[in-house]
Amino acid sequence: MTSVSSVIDDLAGLDTEDFSQPKEFPLMPLGQAVDMGHADDGTPLIDPRIFNSPEFFRNPYPYYRILRDHYPVYHDKLHNTYWVTRYDDITECYFDDEGFNTIPKGSSSGVLGNTQLELSGIEHRRRRTLYGQHLVGESLKNRIPAIQHLATEMIDDWDRAAEEGSEYVIDKDGVRTVELGMMFANEFPIRVVCEVLGFPKESQDDFYYWYNSMMSGLGGSDTHKVGLEARQHLEDYVESMVEARRIEPTYLYDLEGNPVSKDIITKLCETKIDGDYLSTEEITSNIALVVGGGGETTRGAILNMWYLLLQAPDQFAAVCADDGLWDLAFHETLRHSSSIGGQPRHNSFDIEMHGVKIPAGSLMQMVDFSANHDERIFKDPETFDIFREDLYSGKILRSGFRKEGRCSHMAFGVGPHLCPGAWISHQEAVEGSKILKQRLKNPRINEERTPKDIDGKFAPTGIISVRGLWLDYDLT
């Protein structure tokens, strides 16, 4: 017979030294999840501390699979969040921007300021168009030569770097070893953003500081203060520039030096909403968004794409033989290993989803990572296959996510908040990669310098993308 004393002694026994340590989860072989216990009917349990663990950041997919299969809406009481993980649910929520509004004062606004990320409905549409129109269609087409030129310029510079003894470009026995992140992918998107915004070349070093500090210092991070300082620094810089351009407009030029159009900041300075010009604060916040959104994401796309392609030699050979396949490689990369995990939403009304009651105003995390690996949509989702028949890889869809019986990946989101930089980031990654391919003879991953996983094979891309990619290629 149980006694009250034994019940209490069991509890008091939990007060041990071990219990005072933070929970640690072991690193698991790919495809397997840590056993976090089971319910009576065998359903695997999810310990919400896993979401903060190194194991999860290294390879979140087994956990997302558990969520999709057993908890399509998971109420995480530790983080006060509802995780939504199935493709169909997420797309439905993204398209219903009345029912699922964007987060006021979310963690990004803690650094970026008030941006269109956090607006909904007509307020959002109006402002998004102001900025987005400069990143698509004709404006984008006008920029492609400049993008190609920037890529060529950067690769040209490798010879000089090698001669000067750079630690990221090393020539030995007719083979060049290069770290693609430091020598190309980290900076290339920044140069493009600089060019698009019409920032002078001298601002590039600052740019690197702004975007690194702001992106790693979003609200809730341990380096939030650094992020805020960078935001202030950017604001001071932009303020003087905006004031100058309100008086003297500046232009974008083609390769021959002819003005093509006014640059974005100049256009923003001339834009009116409700009969009044945009404030400097509004312009700054949205520039901060472009700075943050335009760097890390494209950088991750380029590195992940090369990392995955070079691990699949057949597919790499196919891409080399046919430039048209880079689009497929780009989209499959973003499906398989996106740089963006998902977007937060608040439900505007009391709802019930998969039997879970969600009070109005709850934080719902839409996990794009998980939607991209939803086996209900993509067959054998853990496999990287640029020829897969269930992924839509055509021109990016603005108002849908399904065409010709195929589904889009979710790396850009879908619906009203579809990434306005999707088109330009696509061009950057594809045009940049085409030029890389032309210049790099027989490229392969340098096994020695590339981080390995617990099984000795290449590490998975995980949540934060490949951080550095060492390549070898032949010089002659």
Q: Which of residues 231-250 bind another protein (CB under 8 A)?
A: 231
Q: Rounded to an integer, what distance in angstroms lies between the CA atom of residue 267 and that of residue 5? A: 75
Stretch near another protein under the rule CB under 8 A, chosen from 143-151, 178-186, 359-367, 456-464:
359-367
**For residues 133 and 362, which CB has a smaller minimum distance to another protein in the complex?**
362
**For residues 365 and 372, which CB has a smaller minimum distance to another protein in the complex?**
365
Q: Is 475 in the site for another protein (CB under 8 A)?
A: no
* Listed residue (60, 51, 87) closest to 72, CA to CA: 87
The site that binds another protein (CB under 8 A) totals a number of residues, namely: 83
Q: How far is the CB of 59 from another protein (least distance, A)?
A: 20
Q: Rounded to an integer, what distance in angstroms lies between the CA atom of residue 238 and that of residue 234? A: 6
Q: Residue 44 has what DSSP assignment?
A: B
Q: Is 20 in the site for another protein (CB under 8 A)?
A: yes
Residues 55-94 that bind another protein (CB under 8 A): 75-81, 86, 88-89, 92
Q: Is 104 in the site for another protein (CB under 8 A)?
A: yes
**For residues 31 and 220, which CB has a smaller minimum distance to another protein in the complex?**
220
Q: How far is the CB of 430 from another protein (least distance, A)?
A: 34
Residues 23-52 that bind another protein (CB under 8 A): 36-37, 39-40, 45-48, 52
**For residues 150 and 364, which CB has a smaller minimum distance to another protein in the complex?**
364
The correct pick among 107, 133, 148, 177 for binding another protein (CB under 8 A) is 107
Q: How far is the CB of 88 from another protein (least distance, A)?
A: 5
The number of C-alpha atoms within 13 Å of 365 and in the hemisphere containing its C-beta is 19
Residue 209 dihedral angles phi and psi, to the nearest 5°: -65, -45
The correct pick among 1, 247, 255, 321 for binding another protein (CB under 8 A) is 1
Residues 266-285 that bind another protein (CB under 8 A): 281
Stretch near another protein under the rule CB under 8 A, chosen from 139-147, 299-307, 347-355, 411-419:
347-355
Q: What is the x/- site pattern for another protein, positions 362-391, by CB under 8 A?
A: xx----------------------------
The correct pick among 27, 29, 105, 455 for binding another protein (CB under 8 A) is 105
Q: Rounded to an integer, what distance in angstroms lies between the CA atom of residue 413 and that of residue 420? A: 10
Q: Rounded to an integer, what distance in angstroms lies between the CA atom of residue 221 and that of residue 38? A: 32
SS3 call for 474: strand
The correct pick among 354, 379, 395, 457 for binding another protein (CB under 8 A) is 354
Q: Rounded to an integer, what distance in angstroms lies between the CA atom of residue 212 and that of residue 217? A: 8
* Listed residue (266, 239, 272, 237) closest to 251, CA to CA: 266
DSSP 186-235: TTHHHHHHHHHHT--GGGHHHHHHHHHHHHHT-TTSTTHHHHHHHHHHHH
Q: Is 114 in the site for another protein (CB under 8 A)?
A: yes
Q: Is 130 in the site for another protein (CB under 8 A)?
A: no
Q: Is 317 in the site for another protein (CB under 8 A)?
A: no
Q: Is 22 in the site for another protein (CB under 8 A)?
A: yes
The correct pick among 31, 349, 376, 394 for binding another protein (CB under 8 A) is 349
**For residues 213 and 461, which CB has a smaller minimum distance to another protein in the complex?**
213
Q: Residue 279 has what DSSP assignment?
A: P
Q: Rounded to an integer, what distance in angstroms lies between the CA atom of residue 83 and that of residue 71? A: 9
- For residue 147, the tally of other CB atoms under 10 A from its CB is 23
Buried (b) or exposed (e) across 395-429, using 16+ Cβ within 10 A? ebbeeebeeeebbbbbbbbbbbbbbbbbbbbbbbb
Q: Is 18 in the site for another protein (CB under 8 A)?
A: no
Q: How far is the CB of 262 from another protein (least distance, A)?
A: 25
Q: Is 167 in the site for another protein (CB under 8 A)?
A: no
With 0-12 CB in 10 A as exposed, 13-18 as middle and 19+ as buried, what is 301?
buried
Query: Residue 354 belongs to what H/E stretch?
Result: none
Query: Residue 308 belongs to what H/E stretch?
Result: helix 280-310
Kindly give, in sequence order, each residue whose CB lies less than 8 Å from that of residue 143, ignoring residues fewer than 6 positions away.
Answer: 192, 195, 196, 252, 424, 427
Q: Is 448 in the site for another protein (CB under 8 A)?
A: no
Q: Is 4 in the site for another protein (CB under 8 A)?
A: yes
The correct pick among 14, 247, 255, 321 for binding another protein (CB under 8 A) is 14
Q: Rounded to an integer, what distance in angstroms lies between the CA atom of residue 411 and that of residue 189? A: 17
The correct pick among 164, 314, 352, 404 for binding another protein (CB under 8 A) is 352
